[in-house]
Structure 1
Amino acid sequence: MTKSVGADSRRASTDSSELQSERDSSGKGKRLWKKVKYQLVEYHSLPAYLKDNEFILAHYRSEWPIKHIFMSIFTIHNETLNVWTHLIGFFLFLVLTIYTAMEVPKVVDSNTLQHLHDVLRKADMHKLREDLLTCLPSFPTLPDLHNFRDALKNSLPLTDLLTSLSNWHIVELLTNCLPESFSHINHTDNCVLRNVKDDMVSMIAPQTTRQITRWPFYSFMGGAMFCLLASSVCHLFSCHSKRLSYVMLRIDYAGIAALISTSFYPIVYYSFMCYPFFCMFYMGFITILGVATVLVSLLPVFDRPEYRSVRAALFFGMGFSGVAPVLHKLILFSHQPEALHTTGYEILMGVFYGIGVLVYAMRIPERWMPGKFDIAGHSHQLFHVLVVAGAYTHYCAGLVYLKWRDMEGC
């Protein structure tokens, strides 16, 4: 009886040990399967919808769960730099948008006041001081008039005193206290003072009366941010499934069309704001073309690798449509340095975008050495860098437009 119980106990212990061993093996097997399942794979192992670039041979993510995909933003694979080049670009333009909204009016004022300092150095400060002292009592609206007059009498630097006033009060002083002629000074000083008045009134007055509308500029900034963020999200999550890949590509195409369309808004609006017909014509045309491009891109047929050149040509043609308003601007404002300045930026922007499209369509440089640029340096990464460079160049052109129209208006 005792032997039987002992045998049963040993068998139960053995069965328990075998069951625990099986559980441990099963757990290790599942963990090993997960490690194998979510390893990077080669091109020939991909499902058809992920086969886009036959010259990138390895380091692909294929049908991973969302959690693993999200964490892969911090790991190395052949999409890492595609994600980060445009994600960094998105944050760059977010910072530029905030900076422009807060600082650009101050930058304009600073440049204006620096010009005031330069032109006032040409005048006879002693005679100008006397005329201002004579004129000041007629300005009851001037803030802290008594202190300003005392500082003027104490021979403090005149430019420092003027820069302490608001733009509007500087305009009042220069317009009313610098008459067309001064009987007590010579002709040269009189001309200098008149130039001071004319220069400063023309530069400051438009800024004090109204600031030009900013919506075309911020539309471009919004379009750029949408494009860059959509591109990053697309490259990060497209490997999840065929359905999500389709949705992500649609959003990516919409972002590209938005960037191209909104890029022409500052060009057209600020160039032709005094010509409403041309302004509405060009802006309407580029908007309709952008919407049409998005709609055409929704067709599944454009997902196929053999239509890569067609996609590139479609967006390239959309960008090329901006040549007409730029040439028209040069004809209308050939005498304006701002027109030439902005056109230089726009040509550089077109060069960046054009090279980017050619690199993307021709798969340079990986087509020359397949497998050598899987992680870094392949065509899509270069395309992303060139897109950010082109968008930043256009941002610089936008600042010139804002300053130009703020100062001159229509």
Structure 2
Amino acid sequence: MCNHGKREESETKTKTTKQQKVKSVKKKMTLMKFQDLPQYMKDNEFILDYYRCEWPLNDVVFSLFAWHNETLNIWTHLVGFLIFVGLTVMSLRDDTELGGLLGNLCRASVSGPLMMMTVMKMTDLNISSTQNVQFPPPDSHLRQISLASSIIHANKENGYDAIPRWPWFVFLSGAMGCLVCSSLSHLLACHSNRFNFFFWRLDYAGISLMIVCSFFAPIYYCFSCNPYSRFFYLSSISVLGILAIVTLLSPSLSAPRFRSFRATLFLSMGFSGVIPVVHALVLHWGNQHIFVALGYELAMAIFYASGAAFYVSRIPERWKPGKFDLAGHSHQIFHVFVVLGALAHSAATLVVMDFRRGSPTCGY
């Protein structure tokens, strides 16, 4: 009887332990409120609910397909990553040097008077090599695009398309690296204090990487005939990017109170491109490609600055705490603006590449 009683007691303790473990797992799987979070996860006091906190790693990974306050943060940049993967695949599958579909997409995006001025400029540059091209009457936008494509095809036949591709792929790699790092950080940082420490620094490093890589293609193509200027600008932004990454990896500067400092650092890196832009305008004044590219770069700057403004101000959740926990809060808006800014820069880069293809020699 004594042994039987001991066995029952042992079985009861085992069941109790299992129940406690099940309850513990269920507790970890529950979405938490802001006030219940550990201190290291308290970043935005205006988002009050739907936090994942110290979930098992498998559950954290599969929360990619669940609904919580990071879902849209993850997917806004994951979709952007897939867009740039598509651009990379399209570029790699292009049989001609920097021509084909990407160039046509870029030229088709330049509408109205800007498209017509670009076509006129290209006609002036290549009048001797386009005698066999049939020019459609300029009575429709589609025919203007057809004209541009015909001229570019003629340029390719004359070997005007042979420019290096690697600066374009540097930008694409930087954009993909930034976006995937951001998605991974928002997905996995909630697992533990150690993951939180690592992945948010990875996120900051990814932003710096994209900013640096964004400079390479425009500077390389705009200053192809000015190697000293090209080397100076690319070296400067590379050094600045490395310093930024080192600074942002510092634990003391990753605290929430340094949010404004981080945003200012990113913006400073971005707006450091003003000097090479002004220099490029002076060198290539009057070239319509440069003005079109500048328009896209201004759009990029507006997108990035607007996103940073939402990121720092925490609007709109600041106005109604708890109302934007799942959708519509500032970080999600910031992510959308980042993707739009990267796409605007892609268009600008393609226009500059098109300009360089049309200027095979250095006449200045």
TM normalised by structure 2 equals 0.80
Which residue of 1 is the match for residue 52 of structure 2? Answer: 61
AA aligned opposite 2:247: V
2:222 equivalent among 265, 271, 296: 271
* Equivalent residues in 2 for 1:241-260, closer than 5 Å: 241-260=192-211
Q: Quick check: which has more Rg, 1 or 2?
A: 1
Which residue of 1 is the match for residue 246 of structure 2? Answer: 295
Aligned residues: 321
1:328 equivalent among 267, 279, 290: 279
Which residue of 1 is the match for residue 354 of structure 2? Answer: 403
Contact 1:203–1:407, Cα closer than 8 Å, also in 2: no
AA aligned opposite 1:239: C
Q: Deviations over 1:21-57 (max 9, x none)?
A: 7655654443233212321111111111111111111
2:345 equivalent among 376, 381, 394: 394
User: Could you say if the C-alpha distance between residues 28 and 265 of structure 1 is closer, same or farther in structure 2, counting changes exceeding 3 Å?
Assistant: same
AA aligned opposite 2:91: T
1:48 equivalent among 39, 43, 61: 39
Q: Deviations over 1:287-323 (max 9, x none)?
A: 1111110011111111211111111111111111011
Contact 1:338–1:401, Cα closer than 8 Å, also in 2: yes
Which residue of 2 is the match for residue 309 of structure 1? Answer: 260
AA aligned opposite 1:106: G
User: Could you say if the C-alpha distance between residues 201 and 338 of structure 1 is closer, same or farther in structure 2, counting changes exceeding 3 Å?
Assistant: closer
AA aligned opposite 2:99: P
Which residue of 1 is the match for residue 99 of structure 2? Answer: 105
Contact 1:267–1:326, Cα closer than 8 Å, also in 2: no
CA distance, structure 1, for counterparts of residue 219 and residue 152 of structure 2: 28
Contact 1:57–1:371, Cα closer than 8 Å, also in 2: yes
Deviation at 1:102, TM superposition (A): 2.4
CA distance, structure 2, for counterparts of residue 57 and residue 200 of structure 1: 58
Please, which runs of 5 or more residues in structure 2 have no aligned partner?
Answer: 106-127, 133-149
AA aligned opposite 2:181: A
- Percent of pairs with identical residues: 41
1:381 equivalent among 315, 319, 332: 332
CA distance, structure 2, for counterparts of residue 343 and residue 387 of structure 1: 18
RMSD: 2.9
* Equivalent residues in 2 for 1:156-235, closer than 5 Å: 204=155, 208=159, 211-235=162-186
Q: Deviations over 1:304-357 (max 9, x none)?
A: 111111111111111110111112212222211100010000000000000001
AA aligned opposite 1:83: I
AA aligned opposite 1:97: T
User: In the alignment, is residue 31 of structure 1 matched against residue 22 of structure 2?
Assistant: yes
CA distance, structure 2, for counterparts of residue 334 and residue 209 of structure 1: 21
Contact 1:207–1:407, Cα closer than 8 Å, also in 2: no
User: Could you say if the C-alpha distance between residues 107 and 58 of structure 1 is closer, same or farther in structure 2, counting changes exceeding 3 Å?
Assistant: closer
SS class of match (1:408):
coil
CA distance, structure 2, for counterparts of residue 314 and residue 200 of structure 1: 43
Deviation at 1:279, TM superposition (A): 1.0
Contact 1:206–1:406, Cα closer than 8 Å, also in 2: no
User: Could you say if the C-alpha distance between residues 265 and 371 of structure 1 is closer, same or farther in structure 2, counting changes exceeding 3 Å?
Assistant: same
AA aligned opposite 2:261: V
Which residue of 1 is the match for residue 146 of structure 2? Answer: none
CA distance, structure 1, for counterparts of residue 272 and residue 266 of structure 2: 10
2:299 equivalent among 348, 353, 357: 348
Contact 2:31–2:50, Cα closer than 8 Å, also in 1: yes
Which residue of 1 is the match for residue 119 of structure 2? Answer: none
Please, which runs of 5 or more residues in structure 1 have no aligned partner?
Answer: 1-7, 112-169, 175-198
CA distance, structure 2, for counterparts of residue 326 and residue 217 of structure 1: 18
Contact 1:206–1:409, Cα closer than 8 Å, also in 2: no
Deviation at 1:100, TM superposition (A): 2.4
Contact 1:220–1:262, Cα closer than 8 Å, also in 2: yes
Deviation at 1:283, TM superposition (A): 1.0
CA distance, structure 2, for counterparts of residue 321 and residue 108 of structure 1: 28
Deviation at 1:14, TM superposition (A): 8.9
CA distance, structure 1, for counterparts of residue 348 and residue 324 of structure 2: 34
Deviation at 1:206, TM superposition (A): 7.4
- Return 353-362 or 68-77, whichever deviates more: 68-77
Contact 1:216–1:269, Cα closer than 8 Å, also in 2: yes
CA distance, structure 2, for counterparts of residue 15 and residue 300 of structure 1: 53
CA distance, structure 2, for counterparts of residue 51 and residue 21 of structure 1: 39
1:357 equivalent among 291, 296, 308: 308
